[in-house]
Structure 1
Amino acid sequence: MDQITFLLFMYSDVCIVLGLYVYLLRIKKLIGFQLGMNISVVMGGMAALLFGVLLILQYPFHFTWITIISTLAGLVTGALFGRLFDYQSFVTGLTNGVIVGLMSPMIGTVLEMTSVFVWFVHIFFALCLLTILISIKRS
């Protein structure tokens, strides 16, 4: 993966996560605790997965630091999204982000078709976001 593609993916992922957080911050009173817990789990896990896979593909010989960074990214993202709703969502988002953050660099190191997997994960992320937005509108 070249540097431009890496930066484009990272920038778009961070902007999407921040945009969803700001949107949820404004309408958090309309969302139930079950949906809030699911949102925190999805966002913590997806942030950790995206960061871990993209970073390990870009910097393959820095496994320890990338594991730490992806774990912290998942932890912080899951905790922030969970904090919007209640304490159970906070803890669930935090722990899911940590678990996926620890595993995602391992997934990235064993990939054979890296571009196919990166596109698959981003399409999966987009479908998760679409599902979250539809669920919010219906709640």
Structure 2
Amino acid sequence: MDKTIILLLLYVDICIGFGFYMYLWRIKKLIGFHLGMNISIVMGGMIALIFGVLLILQFPFHFTLITVVSTLTGLVVGAMFGLLFDYQTFVTGLTNGIVVGLMSPMIGTIIEMPSVFVWCIHIFFAISLCTISISIKRS
């Protein structure tokens, strides 16, 4: 996969995550804590997975640093989305972000077709965001 495409995908993912956080910030009072817990799990895990895989593809010989960065990214994103709702959701998002952040560089190093895998992850991310948006509107 081309290095500029990887950086572009990272930028787009950051913008989507930030935009979704701002959207949830405005309507957080309308969301129950069960749905909030699912949101923090999905967002912390998916962002950590995307960051870990994309960064290991961008910098393949910096495994330890990328593991730390993807773990911290998952931790921060899961915690931020969890803090929108309550402390139990905060802990759940934080732990899920840590676990997925630790595993994602390992997944990124063993993939044989990186472009197919990266696009599949992004499709799953888009489906997750659509599912969360539909769930928010129905709650």
After TM superposition, the score normalised by the length of structure 2 is 0.99
Supply the distance in 2 between the matched residues of 1:81 and 1:53 (Cα, whole angstroms): 21
Alignment correspondent of 2:44: 44
How much has 1:8 moved relative to structure 2?
1.1
Identity of aligned residues (%): 73
Does residue 84 of the first structure (1) align with residue 84 of the second (2)? Answer: yes
Aligned amino acid, residue 121 of structure 2: V
Alignment correspondent of 2:105: 105
Task: In structure 1, list runs of 5 or more residues that go unmatched.
Answer: none
Alignment correspondent of 1:14: 14
Secondary structure at the aligned position of 2:61 is classed as coil
Supply the distance in 2 between the matched residues of 1:38 and 1:3 (Cα, whole angstroms): 32
Aligned amino acid, residue 45 of structure 1: G
Aligned amino acid, residue 108 of structure 1: G
Supply the distance in 2 between the matched residues of 1:105 and 1:7 (Cα, whole angstroms): 16
Aligned amino acid, residue 26 of structure 2: R
Supply the distance in 2 between the matched residues of 1:64 and 1:16 (Cα, whole angstroms): 27
1:53-105 CA distance string (max 9 Å, x none): 00001111000000000000000000000000000100000000000000000
After TM superposition, the score normalised by the length of structure 1 is 0.99
Alignment correspondent of 1:65: 65
Task: In structure 2, list runs of 5 or more residues that go unmatched.
Answer: none
How much has 1:3 moved relative to structure 2?
2.0
Secondary structure at the aligned position of 1:46 is classed as helix
How much has 1:109 moved relative to structure 2?
0.3
How much has 1:51 moved relative to structure 2?
0.2
Instruction: State the 4+ residue runs in structure 1 displaced beyond 2 angstroms.
Output: none
Supply the distance in 1 between the matched residues of 2:19 and 2:47 (Cα, whole angstroms): 13
Secondary structure at the aligned position of 1:104 is classed as helix
Aligned residues: 139
Secondary structure at the aligned position of 1:106 is classed as helix
